[in-house]
Amino acid sequence: MSEATCIEMLKSGLRLADELIIDIHAHMGPWYNFHIPGDGSPESMIANMDLVGIDMTVASPHVAIGPDIEEGNRQVAEATQAYPDRILAYITINPRYPLATIEAEIARYHDELDGIPGFKFHSSLHEVDCSHFGYGPVYDYANENHVPILSHVWDGPEKDGRTFLTRQAAAFPNISFLHAHSGNSWEAIRSLVPETKANPNVYLDIAGSGRPYGGLEYMVQEAGADRVLLGTDLPFIDVRCQFGRLLAARIPDDDKRQIMGLNAKRLFNL
């Protein structure tokens, strides 16, 4: 695929059927203050993915990042078992739950899914920071099993001049830490790109409704295309606008291929 072909396909609305495309940031189901076509069912999400040729999406249901991780984890496990080639599960953890419940969720889905593919944190909705002790069993499991963690917010107190993320990345070198929505603003980009450059196991996810002009190009130039991942926020956002911004970016085709799916294939062992 040449860059001209990317632009031609973008303008014509053709699917990229010959490319590996993996969306590493999706949800599932309804959300209280958004209109979501098809109520965010797995079938409606797959239909949207098929418009551009997305092969697989990694999902955490809205109910899990909201009030009920057990129900949300049940839903995504059911979806990934129904559509094993299209939906991969994030197991969502709310550290406010009792440690026994957190450990039981990890043990259950380790067995049920033959190993947990990835974990999802949403510390802002769960009103904690990522240093909360309830995340401890996740860090231990993820580090032992080389499991990625996608987090909406990487926050926590600075110590000895190092941010929380820098300390966690050093402490758990086998975990790929994925920054959600890292391309949404120049403030986020300029904050997170140096963290990514400094830590080989930190990555940038481009999901989000906003993308400043030139932001993706800057992320690739400074952090490297091998550290950037496609995310769409499906079913919040139609995948066509998210994917179109990647195809139209002023970066080489090989970089687009890494971001579209090759990086995710490596990190999630697909």
pLDDT tens sequence across 196-249:
999 999 999 999 877 789 999 999 999 999 999 999 999 988 888 888 889 889
Smallest Cα–Cα separation from 268: which of 4, 60, 23?
Answer: 23
Residue 187: how many other CB atoms lie within 10 Å = 9
Whether the CB-CB separation of 65 and 30 falls below 8 Å is answered with no
Helix (H, G, I), strand (E, B) or coil at 223: helix
What proportion of the chain, given as a percentage, has pLDDT over 90?
A: 67
pLDDT at site 4: 47
For tokens 């926020």, name the residue: 233
Q: Cα–Cα distance between 88 and 55 in angstroms, integer?
A: 11
Which of 263, 265, 250 is closest to 6 using CA atoms? 250
Q: pLDDT of 63-80, one tens digit each?
A: 999 999 999 999 999 999
Domain ranges (residues) in the chain: 3-267
CA distance 56 to 220: 23
Q: 126-161: per-residue pLDDT in tens?
A: 888 888 999 999 999 999 999 999 997 676 666 766
pLDDT band at 14 (very low <50, low <70, confident <90, very high): low
Alpha-carbon span 88 to 214, nearest angstrom: 31
pLDDT at 200: 96
Whole-angstrom distance, CA of residue 119 vs CA of residue 192: 20
What does the pLDDT read at residue 33? 82
DSSP secondary structure of 15-57:
--TTS--EEEEE--S--TTS--GGGG-HHHHHHHHHHHT--EE
CATH class of 3-267: alpha beta
